Amino acid sequence: MLSGGRRDYNRREYCNAVDCTVQLLLNEKDPGAEGYEKIRGICRENCIHTTYEFHHWLIEQGFSITKPEN
């Protein structure tokens, strides 16, 4: 949790929130299980959602993107 009642984005939060079909498959497997890495590869290399969708979901959920000055 960040100060001031803020929090960081949790890994795959968007994917779970939009019921991504690839994420639903991934949720059925344990890390290290047969086929898990193949499904993760879809996310890494051929995500079915766009950065535009993700960015607008972040805004709708009240997230802000910040970059440290350094």
pLDDT, tens digit, for every residue of 1-52?
Answer: 556 788 899 999 999 999 999 999 999 999 989 999 999 999 999 999 999 9
Over 70: is that where the pLDDT of 62 sits? Answer: yes
Reported pTM: 0.81
Q: Are 50 and 20 in contact (CB under 8 A)?
A: no
Over 80: is that where the pLDDT of 65 sits? Answer: yes
